[in-house]
Structure 1
Amino acid sequence: MAERFYIDPYQTRLETRVARHDDAGLVLEDTLCYPLGGGQPGDTATLSWDGGGCAISDTRRDRETRAIVHLVPPDTPRLAAGTAVTQELDWARRHRHMRIHTCLHLLSVVIKAGVTGGNLSAESGRLDFDLPEGMELDREHIENELNRLVAEDRAVRIEMSSGEALQRQPELIKTMSVTPPLHLPEIRLINIDGIDLQPCGGTHVRSTGEIGPVVVKKIESKGARNKRVVVALRD
């Protein structure tokens, strides 16, 4: 299946066909919807076909087959393979995910420590950092630095590497809790011009300026060495 959310994360409408529809959900020949993973929620959307339509309430990736499965209401008519459908992405929600996800990469630039976990929603995002015991974080400094990097409007680009190459550059792996799939011949990297390069499977904006102003909502301890920083968009 082509993964349109990687080919063009800004595409919002797609004409495609049904590949499979069963109790697990709906699989399309092509999709705009990003599946839950890497701390980023699955996309929502609407689907329409001749004579009907439904909402896509979530998107997941099947662990065994790797197929992208769209969750639809249980009363949705079973669509035969080959049925022509139109998918309309919930763009406002996806775009907020993209803005917050890129902001979290900036957060990992401002706070120079290993990342032990993270998550995001359309409202906010958080990273957990492994910090030396007793080290404190300055909320105002972090917020100012984030907004400075946003204002610099640095380009955000996709690069491809390999597991073998990444093993020779372990400094690029910031997340301590999850190791990238180093066995794969291709691994996706997010390059924020001049300041950050790290493996990531999420969707991102084209430049840091697109994030817009951000606020550090809170900083809290999650153990002797673990500090959680929560950020949000100001709009």
Structure 2
Amino acid sequence: PTGGGQPGDCGLLRWEGGEARIAATVRDAGHPVLVPEEGASLPAPGTEVQQVLDWDRRYGHMRVHTALHLLSVVIPLPVTGGSISPERGRLDFDMADPPEDKEALADEMNALVARDLEVGEDWITEEHLDANPGLVKTMSVQPPRGAGRVRLVRIGIGDGQVDLQPCGGTHVARTGEIGRIRLGKVEKKGARNRRVYVHLDS
């Protein structure tokens, strides 16, 4: 839940004779907590339940999240914030001026999508991360620590690798799953802060 800055999952909790809609999933003291919709009836303690994930919403988050990684590739500047929904997302960049050509950036991103690059993961020690601070693109959120190792999300393999950064979120298996990307508005959020929106066409 909430890994990589994503919203937590939603879905249903089902049991014999009833069900409850889960509005959010959060983390509390290191444990996932399912948050039911207000007014939902809940099963008695000890009842066997089945969790049903809202897959369409989760998959939307996966596609948008991976698209934001590509945005950070075509705008290689420090990231100061971000937000993800199933249809669109945004990153805030440490930059004084807006991008000169949004269409050119969108074309670059869609070219990376069309290459259908593999998205995978690697793991490094916290010491390795400390020795390579350039891996961290986000200025506002640091990778989770305390487990002794940090997950890296990699886009592309070998000479075809285009991105490698710590991330705890969910991603698609290949960039081709993202679909067509278009860039939305660019907002000024301070003297050295620009907010860039990404939308998925389908």
TM-score (norm 2): 0.92
Aligned equivalents of 1:105 and 1:140: distance in 2?
Answer: 18
Q: What letter is aligned with 1:154?
A: L
Deviations 1:147-182 (A, max 9, x none): 000000000002111211111111110001122234
8 Å contact from structure 1 (residues 39, 118) kept in 2: yes
8 Å contact from structure 2 (residues 92, 193) kept in 1: yes
Moved over 6 A (4+): none
Q: CA deviation at 1:183?
A: 4.3
Bigger mean CA offset, 207-216 vs 217-226 = 217-226
The structure-2 alpha-carbon separation of the partners of 1:95 and 1:134, relative to structure 1 and needing over 3 Å to count, comes to closer
Unaligned runs of 5+ in 1: 1-34
Within 5 Å, which residues of 2 pair with 1:1-235? Answer: 35-62=1-28, 65-73=29-37, 74-81=39-46, 83-131=47-95, 133-134=96-97, 136-193=99-156, 194-235=161-202
**Identity among equivalent pairs (%):** 50
Higher helix share: 2
8 Å contact from structure 1 (residues 189, 200) kept in 2: yes
CA RMSD in angstroms, aligned pairs only: 1.5
Aligned equivalents of 1:186 and 1:192: distance in 2?
Answer: 20
Unaligned runs of 5+ in 2: none
Greater RCO structure (CA 8 Å; 6+ sep): 2
8 Å contact from structure 1 (residues 155, 206) kept in 2: yes
Q: CA deviation at 1:52?
A: 1.2
Aligned equivalents of 1:37 and 1:230: distance in 2?
Answer: 20
Q: CA deviation at 1:42?
A: 1.0
Deviations 1:99-133 (A, max 9, x none): 000000000000010001111101210001112x3
**Alignment length, in residue pairs?**
197
Tell me the SS of whatever aligns to 1:106. helix
